[in-house]
Chains A and B, each alone.
Chain A
Amino acid sequence: MAQTIQNDKRYEAGVIPYKKMGYWEPDYQPIDTDIIALFRITPQPGVDPEEAAAAVAGESSTATWTVVWTDRLTACEKYRAKAYRVDQVPGNEEQYFAYIAYDIQLFEPGSIANLTASIIGNVFGFKAVKALRLEDMRIPTAYMTTYKGPPTGIVVERERLDKFGRPLLGATTKPKLGLSGRNYGRVVYEALKGGLDFVKDDENINSQPFMHWRDRFLYVMEAVNKATAATGEVKGHYLNVTAATMEEMYERAEFAKELGSCIIMIDLVIGYTAIQSMSNWARKNDMILHLHRAGHSTYTRQKNHGVSFRVISKWMRMAGVDHIHAGTVVGKLEGDPNQIAGFYDVLREPHNEQNLEHGVFFDQDWAGLNKCMPVASGGIHAGQMHQLLHYLGEDTILQFGGGTIGHPDGIQAGATANRVALEAMIMARNEGRDYMAEGPDILQKAAKDCKPLQHALDTWKDITFDYTSTDTPDFVPSTTTSV
């Protein structure tokens, strides 16, 4: 029941609850063109959850803390975001899911900066809520089509690289910092020649005293081309063009293009506008664009406050990146299997159905936007190949940094071990075998023809990172009796 104060009393000077200002409309039926945001709200003790939801709706759209008569100069009912549903979070008495609908005309077309300035601009510091998390968003087709999406996409990337039917393999050059350009290129060459498709700069490799960016680019491209000739395969290295200014990033990207690189890389910390600019550049220059999600855990990891990585995934597919790090399930970094399945679906599927177990709250159509390749990186090794394939599927990039470079027989051997393990697992899967159950056995058999794989399995056989995830779904499948 709407509690909005009607007519002249609504605009009397003073402070009235947000709920009564028109930001709580329980009868509101969202229309197809509305943008819907789902927040997890932890109200301060004593604050009514509906009032908290209305406050979030108000502050993320038109409201301020007091009544202003200038509202009456506008079609203000249209511009007010409307909280229309508040549910208690299952098993949590403190938290509520609040659904808020926004009129499409509240947002600038094709601007993640504008979208986020509204939705997460002010509300997260709001005193009436103890904590706030943006869990999911439904982007209507009408707004989705104002974004260009990934410049290359999974399909075209695979066609350009001539690599089909298996995850791509990568590695991050280690140590992350300190290598000279010449030594850095050595790691790249060995890993690519050994069987990886890509090697990658790390997020914090830009242009430091030990290695300036031009030097890195030149040595890396020597390594890439030499490995291509040695294997007859297309190879690449994500050249990180992250820099202090757009001008500097464009200069580095242009140089990467001049040298014939097929891919460049940026970090999430450059900001949404810079990401969209680099996406435009990549689209114009036939360049694959890799995004490292540097910094995201500061706001995605804790369940009660921040922004879910599912939402970041949506924004980044809209903003237009071709690759994004999205979790490994089995590696060293945070990642509940169900949550990660949800992120991967958001990045890769043409259409998402609501799937609460995976944390996907809304049906989402991607309106033909290209698919974005999720990247699994951080603490994974060849011995987990069956699990990686099972959890992450085929359209992903598996990045074994330590798992390649740390191999006892050297980098080439490490790369070969990963590639053989991967191809053996794909073959077994395609043959219809229960590769999850038989995984260790499949790997052992493949290792008979491949000593490096045997040594990899021996070295890392017991390495797992078994910690409890902090970011987990709130809904679990219930057991129902079949009749």
Chain B
Amino acid sequence: MRITQGTFSFLPDLTDEQIKRQVKYCLDNGWAVSLEYTDDPHPRNTYWEMYGQPMFDLRDPAGLMMDLEECRKTYPKHYIRVTAFDSTHQWETPRLSFIVNRPPEEPGFRLKRQEQEGRKVRYTIDSYASDQPEGQRY
């Protein structure tokens, strides 16, 4: 399967040139870009690990691309995403977030059903990969 979180997951994986153009769009909007990585892509796993802090003073997309290269070297089989933060009043939230690295094999999620009274079912979603300890999942 292919996890389709993030803004561009239905398109072919972005080339570095394409990533750069998206980062430029974020910087032109005055947003701070950041890199985050994880090997636990559960849809409710909000807090991926931060690869450094959001780059508040970055002006050139090349800065993020350098960090991305390092991050990919350190975590070649992790999910890595670019997230852009907008500090404008009444936004103050991510405005764009897209995956820029993913493991070669994505085993996906198990849906667990716990039957309850009155035909109700309690659902839980588990990543197959997260059966392994952190760092050994992909």
Interface residues of A (CB under 8 A from B): 155, 158-159, 162, 164-166, 195, 218, 221-222, 225-226, 228-234, 258-260, 350, 368, 371, 416, 419-420, 423-424, 426-427, 430-432, 446, 449-450
Residues of chain B within 8 A of A449, CB atoms compared: 11-12
Q: Are B4 and A155 in contact (CB under 8 A)?
A: no
Complex CA distance for A229 and B5, rounded to whole angstroms: 12
Band of interface residues on B: 35 or more
Complex CA distance for A155 and B12, rounded to whole angstroms: 28
Complex CA distance for A435 and B3, rounded to whole angstroms: 27
Q: Are A230 and B11 in contact (CB under 8 A)?
A: no
Q: Are B1 and A230 in contact (CB under 8 A)?
A: yes
Report if B121 contacts A (CB, 8 A): yes
Q: Are A446 and B11 in contact (CB under 8 A)?
A: yes
Report if B54 contacts A (CB, 8 A): no
Known: A416-B10, A426-B7. A234 touches B125 (CB 8 A): no
Residues of chain A within 8 A of B93, CB atoms compared: 155, 158-159, 164
Known: A233-B4, A350-B90, A427-B8. A225 touches B123 (CB 8 A): yes
Q: Are B5 and A233 in contact (CB under 8 A)?
A: yes
Residues of chain B within 8 A of A420, CB atoms compared: 10-11
Contact of B41 among A218, A232, A258, A432 (CB under 8 A): A232
Residues of chain B within 8 A of A158, CB atoms compared: 93-94
Report if B111 contacts A (CB, 8 A): yes
Report if B43 contacts A (CB, 8 A): yes
Interface residues of B (CB under 8 A from A): 1, 3-5, 7-12, 18, 21-22, 25, 41-44, 46, 83-84, 89-98, 108-111, 119-123, 125, 127
Q: Are A430 and B4 in contact (CB under 8 A)?
A: no
6 contacts between A and B (CB under 8 A): A158-B93, A225-B125, A233-B43, A368-B90, A423-B11, A446-B11
Q: Are A371 and B25 in contact (CB under 8 A)?
A: no
Known: A371-B90, A427-B18. A229 touches B109 (CB 8 A): yes
Complex CA distance for A92 and B43, rounded to whole angstroms: 56
Residues of chain A within 8 A of B4, CB atoms compared: 195, 231-233
Known: A232-B4, A232-B41. 8 other contacts (CB 8 A): A155-B91, A165-B84, A165-B95, A218-B119, A225-B123, A427-B8, A432-B25, A446-B11
**Could you tell me the distance in whole angstroms from the C-beta of B131 to the nearest C-beta in chain A?**
15
- The residue on A at minimum CB distance from B14 is A427
**Could you tell me the distance in whole angstroms from the C-beta of A386 to the nearest C-beta in chain B?**
16
Known: A165-B96, A195-B4, A232-B5. A350 touches B43 (CB 8 A): no
Contact of B3 among A221, A231, A424, A427 (CB under 8 A): A231
Q: Are A234 and B44 in contact (CB under 8 A)?
A: yes
Complex CA distance for A477 and B137, rounded to whole angstroms: 61
- The residue on B at minimum CB distance from A255 is B120
**Could you tell me the distance in whole angstroms from the C-beta of A353 to the nearest C-beta in chain B?**
16
Q: Are A232 and B108 in contact (CB under 8 A)?
A: yes
Complex CA distance for A258 and B117, rounded to whole angstroms: 12
Residues of chain A within 8 A of B83, CB atoms compared: 164
Residues of chain B within 8 A of A221, CB atoms compared: 121, 123
Residues of chain B within 8 A of A229, CB atoms compared: 108-111, 125
**Would you list the 5 A-B pairs with minimal beta carbon distance, nearest first?**
A165-B96, A232-B3, A229-B111, A225-B123, A430-B25
Q: Are B12 and A162 in contact (CB under 8 A)?
A: no
- The residue on B at minimum CB distance from A416 is B10
**Could you tell me the distance in whole angstroms from the C-beta of B126 to the nearest C-beta in chain A?**
9
